[in-house]
Amino acid sequence: MGIQFRKDERFRENFSYVNSDAGVLRFPFPFGEDRYMYSVNIEPHIPGGPTPAFAHAFDIDEHYIAECQERAMVLADDPGRCQVLPHMMPAQWDTLELLMESLAADYPEHFSLDKDGDTWRWINRPLGIDQSFVFGKPETLPCAPFEYITRQAQGDFTLQDQRDDNLFVDGGMVTTQADWSLDFDIGMSFHEWHGPVPLAHETGVFDRALRFLLRLQYGHPVRRLNWTMTINPRLDTSPENYPDWGPDRTTVTPENVAEKVHLRVELQTLFRLPRSNAILFGIRCYLLSLKDIERVEKWRKRLHRVLTTLPPELAEYKGLTRYRDTIIAHLAPHDDGAELSPGIQPDQTVLPPA
């Protein structure tokens, strides 16, 4: 049986976002230890691991249709959220091929791809798309190939061009970002793009990451988890729309913290592309409310410990300072200090009632 999609969710204004019990347990909880410090934490992106979110090259879940609808709304308001510099056209076709082939192979009940030479037929059943086109000829698609296929995927994507022993953000589809702007960052080098991150530069994290990524091989993608927190289940927390979401941080109280605060996790994947030699950087966003985190004993205890020991610089960078103490106070009565198993996997297969 295929994925049961939720079609009526909203990630803005009158929020209506719910994770099923299975959706809660498949959440890629980012903390494998009781303390957190920014690190490279890259591993091979191979099927399997502690969460079903790692099972396929690109994760599709129950929120797929709603998230694609949200992307379309963001782009209608601000088409600049998708930009690709002219020299990146080969990388656009690389991305289209990678996503279409991966989705068709991993979710055949929902997607299919038929090839007759350069004439391809792409079927996306959840979104009702049946498109024939000629690979390599952008005029045969409704829009540029990178925009066309990333409109049909969850999460954000950037294209990194490799030159002069560096990586440059030379394209992207960015509608679900955690307070950064493609319009501002496009064309930046690797260190320029990561400039605002505290503590990591001093410890050489980004120097090591760049050296590693410059050697990334085709057919050997890698992944890592990153995290922050968001008030309300809002995907678009861009600088451009800060007036819409920034004030939400002032609305957290002891009474509403469990419903309002959401752990926001990014499954970041990096793929070397075959024709262009560019790197596709996928940034897949997941949201889980504090109320649902509390249903998993290991996660609620570990989150309490991580937030209690989080360096002030990281708390400030992630925008948690206004409400971190409220979360800690809420979780403290539920943490008995018992030793927890290492790793991010939940410690249960059944959840108590919400």
The tens digit of pLDDT for each residue in 128-177 reads 999 999 999 999 999 999 999 999 999 999 999 999 999 999 999 999 99
In which residue are the tokens 């929120």 written?
Answer: 63
State the average pLDDT over residues 306-334. Answer: 96
For residues 145 and 92, what is the distance between their CA atoms, to the nearest angstrom? 6
For residues 318 and 196, what is the distance between their CA atoms, to the nearest angstrom? 11
For residues 239 and 190, what is the distance between their CA atoms, to the nearest angstrom? 20
103: confidence class by pLDDT, cuts 50, 70, 90: very high
State the average pLDDT over residues 47-75. Answer: 97
pLDDT number for residue 240: 93
Examine the pLDDT at 113 and tell me if it is beyond 90.
yes
Share of the chain above pLDDT 70, in %: 98
pLDDT number for residue 204: 73
- pLDDT tens for 264-287 read 999 999 999 999 999 999 999 999
* Token output for 16: 């209506």
Select the more confidently predicted residue: 1 or 28: 28
For residues 198 and 125, what is the distance between their CA atoms, to the nearest angstrom? 43
pLDDT number for residue 2: 84
pLDDT number for residue 1: 59
What does pLDDT average to over the chain? Answer: 95
pLDDT number for residue 254: 98
List the beta strands (DSSP E) in 119-192: 119-124, 129-134, 156-163, 166-173
Q: Which amino acid is at 125?
A: R
Which range has the worst mean pLDDT, 133-137, 198-202, 234-238? 198-202
Burial of 155 (0-12, 13-18, 19+ CB in 10 A): buried
| Catalytically annotated residues | 224
Instruction: Pick the closest to residue 285 from 234, 327, 245 (CA basis).
Output: 234
Instruction: Pick the closest to residue 212 from 44, 33, 32 (CA basis).
Output: 44
Q: Are 172 and 83 in contact (CB under 8 A)?
A: yes
List the beta strands (DSSP E) in the chain: 43-44, 82-84, 111-116, 119-124, 129-134, 156-163, 166-173, 222-231, 261-272, 279-289
State the average pLDDT over residues 305-320. Answer: 94
pLDDT number for residue 196: 72
Examine the pLDDT at 299 and tell me if it is beyond 80.
yes
| pTM summary value | 0.96
206: confidence class by pLDDT, cuts 50, 70, 90: confident
198: confidence class by pLDDT, cuts 50, 70, 90: low
120: confidence class by pLDDT, cuts 50, 70, 90: very high
Helix, coil or strand: residue 50: coil
Which range has the worst mean pLDDT, 33-42, 210-219, 299-308? 33-42
